[in-house]
Structure 1
Amino acid sequence: MNKTKCFLTALPVFILAYIIISYSEIFTEQEEYPKNNCTKQCPAILSGEASAFQFGEQCEKQGLKIFHIQIPINCSRIELERNFITSSLSEEEASYPLAYIITIHKEFEMFVKLIRAIYRPENVYCIHVDQKSPEDYQRKVKSLTGCFQNIFLASKMEYVVYGGFSRLQADINCMKDLVNSTVAWKAVINLCGQDFPIKTNREIIQYIKNKWNGKNITPGIQQPWYLKYRTEYRYKEEMKDGEAQIYQLNQKKTAPPLGLTIYFGTAYYVLTRQFVKFVLEDERAIALLEWSRDTYSPDEHYWVTLNRLKDAPNMIPNVTWDGDIRAVVWAPMAGPTYDGCNGYYRNNICVYGLRDLKWIIQQPAMFANKFEHSTNPLTVACLEQWHRERVLSQTSETIQPHWYLRD
């Protein structure tokens, strides 16, 4: 009887303790570290020291700082614990807010690192999540973005097919949302989840304002003959056995609408707010968008073609490949190569490894692509550490303790 009485007396205490522990586990972001503090090697790795590479590559094999997030997220703690910069770092940045369109489909940890690297409270961010992404991934992204007033999910999501119109449509969807934003952003930059900045927010703004005089940046040239197959034949996107595919139909397309001359360039850009409104409203832009629906990789001709129209806002009359948007190392025969790839190739683009970092931080580009946190976590961690130190060194504002990244 006494034992039963003791048990019944203690039962509410056990239940309360269980609830507290469970609540804590739900709202706690956990991290796992290897035994060695690998990030201490980052300065030597960035300098290109051979011994640091050897140690770092062992760390890569162990895995590094795996970020776990459980739902629901504790929004009151997320900014502090995830080291987000929570105030403007200069008057120049505060007076020139940027908009970002970020298309993602995998690696939640990489998304967290990218968004906190470019996050500023004066900016605005539209996140497009590929509808093919696992439900758990989509749920995590939705939970994280819900903690910030200036980060939101696109109002319409696409099943994105590599090389298909859906990739272009994803950007258009975000643009429609951004033009209605209360943030008075000056320019929009599009990214994917495997990008990472190598310029600070302040340097990006100075690059846009000073080198480009606030014009649109859409690197490219008139469409060369060997790429005309992309727009001369019709293409079709489809989901088959759970895989997104695009294939060419044996049907020729009509000529481009309204006598437009087609150009070829990158899918990535910097566009002014006035130009974005033009894209969404101008008759030629709308006609070109419709005509592009069954072309191959239309995001590589759409922006650069419109930026050559003489009456387009902030247009560049003689677009060339000039415009340091992204540092990319292509596979041999797939595009221009630089110092080769010290990681591995995926879709003919280098996924950077530790030995690429010295080259990356010397590039004039605003961003580098591509990175995979799951396979090269220390590569991402070292670049992230270098970038945050650079950001904080450029501000005269009082630095908050949580702005420093933890080892």
Structure 2
Amino acid sequence: MRLLKQGMFLLMVTIALGSLWIFYLPTCSNPGWNPSSVLSYSWLEYTDSDDSPEKVCNCSGILQGEREALEQAKLLTITKDFTDSVHIPDEHYMNATEDCSAFKLRRKYLTSPLSQEEEDFPLAYSMVVHHKVQNFERLLRAIYTPQNIYCVHVDKNAKSSFLFAILEITTCFPNIFMVTQPVDVVYAAWPRVQADLNCMADLYNSSTKWKYFINLCGQDFPLKTNLEIVRTLRSLSGRNSINSEEMPAGLMRRVRNAHKIIDGRIQDTGKAKEPPPINIPIMFGSAYIVVSRGFIRSVMEDSRVLALMEWGKDTYSPDEFLWATIERMIGVPGSRRNHRKYDMSDLNAIARLVKWQGLEGSQDSLDSAYPECHGSHVREVCIYGAGDLKWMLKQHHLFANKFDIDTDPIAVYCLEKYLRKRALSELQ
């Protein structure tokens, strides 16, 4: 029945669009395909005719920082009728994906690489998620291209409606798969690392010979098009981009004491750990990385890395030291020497743009690292608002964290419109 529906839908689209439809089918069987032969990509642009509730906003004005446009956006985000109209329940996606062809067409997913340059430089993504299907689907749509490969890890403790919705979405795409070994993710504990490791293994063992690995969570969103990401990664020439700095003295307890998961939470046992099995200091960094295929090979096979990971399983927030430390090991592909001159802050790394509440301040403040958050805060991290977009798009980072459609859907809406228009303009 599902195949019959798909066939009928394609027939109707063919009649509606005429011979143009043949240009929009996947072209993996045509190695000589040239995007310039496509008559028009205008149907892939996100427009007001898509009937999104957010279309009442002036995204052009928001991206330019116009006060009136930002005030209107702020008012809408606190209006119940508007926020209710934007919210999509998990169950919607189960119904929407019954006909995958219709779903992908309606949501305007890219079904062909937009350039030969992108097709020749496939990327691998790990996506660790546990709630908010709508966040996930809009992130996926923003980063999806058919030449890339995507591993999705859903927390084993996630709601069944969330899991089933994600399953239905992923089955619509041949290059997206669910991780083979999901785990119960515990915030700030080893299972959070294990979730990424399991996706890394699946991606590394896949048939796609991707060039770089990027890990994401459900509240990330890109700041660059796929072509811009590819060109940035090409310029790294095999190097990684990882936040890696000296561990602050106040955080050393995280790795000096043994920790244990008790009742679903990580807790300090008070027992001192043995020194780490490496000849360099434990570094401090971010859970989110941009690394070469060779780096992932070392994570899978290097005995020094494997020993460090085994030692780190009872530490607090191991994802904030593990990648940063591996990055400073001699012999790991794309790594940097263990010297303070090679330290890299999260603002200098390209993986993720995050606003920490303690580092925000006015534009004239000499003590602030970035302007004040225009959204809200959760665990001292800015949940971006529409007013943050103008500043964000000037940064060099590939992705930003955190976004939440329940908090400010307009920030996501304007950003995704901007990125799609930019991606299509790159074809000119």
Counterpart among 265, 268, 290 of residue 248 in structure 1:
268
SS at match of 1:127: strand
State the shift of 1:336 in Å: 6.5
- 1:136 equivalent among 151, 161, 185: 161
Residue by residue, what CA displacement relative to the aligned partner does 1:207-244 show, whole Å, maximum 9, x if unpaired?
1121x222111121132322211100011123x3xxx3
CA distance in 2, matches of 1:307, 1:337: 24
Aligned residue runs from structure 1 range 3-402, under 5 A: 34=53, 37-39=55-57, 41-60=58-77, 61=79, 62-63=82-83, 64-67=85-88, 68-71=92-95, 73-210=98-235, 212-238=236-262, 240=263, 244-317=264-337, 318-321=342-345, 322-332=348-358, 337-396=369-428
- Deviation of 1:320 after TM superposition, in Å, equals 2.1
Q: Is residue 223–residue 397 contact of structure 2 (8 Å, CA) maintained in 1?
A: yes
Unaligned runs of 5+ in 1: 1-19, 25-30, 397-407
> Tell me, what secondary structure is at the counterpart of 1:285?
helix
Letter in 2 for 1:363: Q
One-letter amino acid of the structure 2 residue matched with residue 189 of structure 1: I
Q: Please give the alpha-carbon distance, in whole angstroms, between the structure 1 residues aligned to 2:55 and 2:106.
A: 19
Does the aligned pair in 1 maintain the 2:94–2:164 contact within 8 Å?
no
- Aligned-residue sequence identity (percent) comes to 38
> Deviation digits for residues 287-333 of structure 1, max 9, x if unmatched?
11110100011111111211211111222223422322211111126
Q: Specify the code of the residue in structure 1 equivalent to 2:351.
A: I
Matches of 2:421 and 2:56, distance apart in 1? 17
| Conserved 8 A contact 1:308-1:319 | no
- The change in CA–CA distance for 1:198 and 1:293 in structure 2 (over 3 A counts) is same
2:61 and 2:137 map into 1 onto residues whose CA distance is: 25
Deviations 1:253-284 (A, max 9, x none): 00001434211111111111122111111111
Counterpart AA for 1:175: M
Distance in 2 separating the partners of 1:330 and 1:280: 32
Once residues 99 and 267 of structure 1 are traced to their aligned partners in structure 2, the CA distance between those partners, rounded to angstroms, is 16
Secondary structure of 1:69's aligned partner: helix
Structure-2 change in CA distance of 1:245 and 1:114 (3 Å): same
Amino acid at match of 2:294: Q
> Mean Cα displacement is larger for which, 139-148 or 71-80?
71-80
What residue identity is the alignment partner of 1:56? A
Distance 1:141 1:176, change over 3 A: same
Note if contact 2:59-2:414 (Cα within 8 Å) is conserved in structure 1. Answer: yes
What TM-score results when the alignment is normalised by the length of structure 2?
0.80
What secondary structure is seen at the aligned counterpart in 2 of 1:259?
A: coil
Aligned to 1:10: none
RMSD: 2.1
Q: For residues 222 and 56 of structure 1, what CA distance do their matches in structure 2 show?
A: 40
Distance 2:369 2:161 in 1: 37
Shift in alpha-carbon separation, 1:336–1:144, aligned structure 2, 3 A: farther
- Give, in whole Å, the separation in 2 of the partners of 1:186 and 1:37: 37
Letter in 2 for 1:58: L
Residues matched between the structures, number: 361
